Chains A and B, each alone.
Chain A
C-alpha cells in the first residue's frame, strides 16, 4: 500500500478523495467501498478524510469512525511504505508462524501492529491469506506472497523492499 508522498499535498489528495466520494454522494451504503479506495489513495485514513467522507455520504463522523475501527483492514495511523502481513492461519500456525513472527520482530525491532522508525515497514499478523499450500507464509504489500519461510531467508526477502 503506497503512501502518497510523491507529488501531492493535502489539497491534491482532497481533490482526488472528492472524486472517490462523488459516485456515492448521499449513499451511506457505499461507505466501505469509499473507505477502501480512500485508504488506497492516502495510505491510511486521517481525520480530515473521515470528515469529508462522512459529509459526502450523509453520515455522522461517529458512524464512519465506528465502521473504520470495526474492520481490521482500515488504519487510522500512517503505515510504513511496505506492509508485511504474517499469516497466522491454522496451516501456517501448525507449520511455524511463531518462528516467522519472532524472526521479524528481531530483525525489524518492532512488534506486530507497529511501524519501523524509518517508516519502511509495518508489521502485522493476519488471519489466513489463503496460501495454505505454502505455509508458513507472509504477504508483502498485499501482493507478494513469500511461502515456505525459513528464518534465515527473512533478512534477504526484506532487502528487496527499500
Chain B
C-alpha cells in the first residue's frame, strides 16, 4: 500500500463487508459469530464449540453464509466461553459444545435467540439479550479495548475497517512531529504502566534529546501477579500497538521499535508477530510509509521471566540481551535508553490509546476522566469477585461501582474486606474507602497506587497479614539482588511476617516492619525495591488490628494462618 487512497479503499470495502457487526443485516450473510478467544475462554474449550458450530452450519448448508471469528478477550472471563452473534448483537455465555446446534438451528436459521444461554442480571426476571443492554458492559467505556468485540485480531483489514492506521496516515501527512507531541501532551494521557507520568512530556524529552538513532519501546512484560490487561490488548488488537508506536516514531524521529513481551504469553507473541508481518506486507511498517519518506519497523523481544524487567531501565538492559538489572536514574531513558540512545518507553495500554487520541483529538480525549487523570483505565478484576475479567472504565469511576456494579460483588454472600491495586507495588484499600474515585492521585493518597491495573478483591476469608507476606515473598523472590536495601531488607521483612503468621510474633514487630519499610522505600535503587514495602505498610495502616491479633492472641480471624503453639 502506498497511498492514502489505497488505505481508504481497503477501509471502505472491508467496512461494507463488516456492516453486519454494526447491526446492519446483510443480503448475503446470515450472521457473524464472534467467539471470545481470550485465554479464559480458550481454556474452557471455546475452539471445540467453534468446530461444532462449523459442522452444524455445514450440515444445514449455510456454511458460506455465516462467519465464525475468534476475537480477543471480551472481558467477562467468569462467564466463558462467551460469544456475540451479529447482526442482532446477542450475547451468549457459559457455552458448551452441545449448545452449538441450538444457536445455529434456533437462532441463526429461525431467528429465535436461545433463551437459556442469555445473560441474566442477578435478581432480574428476564434475561438480557443484546450485549449493548447489559449493565456490566453499559457502565464501561471502551477506548483501549475499542475493537475487541468487533474484529478478528489476525486480520489487518478488520483493523483498517475500524479506522485502523488512519491515525498514522494523519500523523504522517497532516501533522508535524511537534504537533503530534503537543496533541498527546494536551490530551493529558498519563503512562498506564503505573507511575502515571505524562506521555506527551516523555515524548517531548526524547525528541529534544541529543543522540541518534532513537528508539520506541513497548513494555509488554506484564509481571504484576493478578493482571492480564496487556495480554488482552496484545492478543485482541495487536495493530493498535503497532500504530501507536509508529506514530511516536514519527513524532520523535525514530525508525526502530521494540516490543518486549513475556515468554509466558505465547499467543500474544504469535498474534503480534503475525500483525507485524501483515503491517510490513501492507507497507504500514518498513521503508517510505505512505510515500512520506518515513521509515519505521518493529522487532519483538521476549522476556524470560523476571519481574524486575518491568522496571524501565531493567527492561532496556534486557532488550540488549543482558541480565535485566536496573541502573540508577538519571540518566533517564529519554536521554540514554536502549544501547545508550534516546528512547521512549511506554506500556501496552498507553500505546493502544495513541491512535484514538491522534484521530479524534486531544480535546475529545480530555473530556473523559477526571481533572488530572484523563481517559479510561483497563482493570483486571480477580480474586473473590463474581464477574472476574477485564473491564475498561472512565477514570474517576468509584471502586464501589467497579467492584459491586460492574464486578457483581462478592460470591457466596461473603463480606468485602479490601481491594488490592497495583500488585506488589500497591496497597490494600478497605471498605471505608469504596467511594473513592479511581484516579492516580486519589489512590496514591490512600497508600495504594493505580499500578498497571490489577485489582484483586478480598473477602473475610482473606488474611491481610498473609497477603502482606505473599507480596513480600514475591519481592524477595524477584529482587535482582543488585542493591542491598531490596535484597536484604525485603528478606528481613519476610522473616518477621513469617514469624507473625506462625504465632511467634513479638511486641515491637509491627514497628520494626514499619522502620524497615521506610528505609527500603527511601534507599532502594529501582521502582521494584522502592515500592516493595507498600503492601505491608498499607495493610498495617488499615488492618493493624489483624497484625495485633496474630502477635498477641495467636488468632487469625480469617482462619488462614496456622499457629504452632
Q: Which residues of A contact B (CB under 8 A)?
A: 28-33, 35-36, 63, 66-67, 70-74, 88-91, 93-95, 126-135, 137, 142-147
Contact = CB atoms under 8 A, between A and B. Distances in A.
Contacts of B471: 90
A131 B470 CA distance: 19
A94 B458 contact: yes
Interface in B283-323: 301-302, 304-307, 318-323
Nearest to B224: A128
A33 B300 CA distance: 10
B263 A73 contact: yes
Across the A-B interface, give the 6 residue pairs with the lowest CB-CB distance, nearest first: A133-B77, A89-B225, A91-B382, A145-B43, A71-B304, A90-B226
A137 to B, nearest CB: 8
B462 A94 contact: yes
Given A31-B321, A32-B304, A72-B305, A94 B43 contact: no
B304 A73 contact: yes
29 contacts: A28-B320, A28-B321, A32-B304, A32-B318, A66-B323, A67-B323, A70-B306, A70-B324, A70-B325, A70-B480, A72-B304, A73-B304, A90-B420, A90-B423, A91-B382, A91-B388, A93-B470, A94-B462, A127-B307, A127-B474, A128-B223, A130-B265, A131-B39, A132-B77, A132-B226, A132-B228, A132-B383, A133-B389, A145-B43
Interface string B231-250: 10000000000000000000
Interface of B: 39-40, 42-44, 77-78, 80, 222-228, 231, 263-266, 301-302, 304-307, 318-325, 380, 382-384, 388-389, 420, 423, 454, 456, 458, 462, 467, 470-471, 474, 477-478, 480
Nearest to A33: B302
Nearest to A91: B382
A83 to B, nearest CB: 12
Given A32-B301, A91-B225, A133-B382, 18 more contacts: A30-B321, A31-B322, A72-B305, A72-B306, A73-B263, A89-B225, A89-B226, A90-B226, A90-B470, A91-B226, A94-B458, A95-B384, A130-B222, A131-B39, A132-B388, A133-B78, A135-B382, A144-B43
Contacts of B265: 130
B306 A71 contact: yes
Contacts of A33: 301-302, 321
B227 A128 contact: yes
Nearest to A131: B39
A141 to B, nearest CB: 11
Contact of B383 (A31, A36, A91): A91
A14 B477 CA distance: 34
Nearest to B39: A131
B228 A29 contact: no
A104 to B, nearest CB: 18
Contacts of A93: 225, 470
Given A31-B321, A32-B318, A130-B265, A94 B302 contact: no
Contact of A134 (B40, B301, B420, B454): B40
B305 A29 contact: no
A35 B318 CA distance: 13
Nearest to B318: A32
A36 B264 contact: no
A130 B383 contact: no
B382 A129 contact: no
A128 B324 CA distance: 19
- Of A29, A31, A35, A94, most buried by chain B (CB within 10 Å of CB) is A94
A95 B225 CA distance: 13
Contact of A127 (B43, B223, B480): B223
A6 to B, nearest CB: 22
A70 B314 CA distance: 12
B40 A147 contact: yes
A157 B302 CA distance: 29
A131 B389 CA distance: 9
A146 to B, nearest CB: 7
A141 B383 CA distance: 25
A129 B223 CA distance: 9
A71 B223 CA distance: 13
Nearest to A129: B264
B44 A147 contact: yes
B304 A132 contact: no
B264 A130 contact: yes
A133 B80 contact: yes
A35 to B, nearest CB: 7
B264 A135 contact: no
Contacts of B39: 130-131, 133-134, 145
Nearest to B339: A29
B452 to A, nearest CB: 12
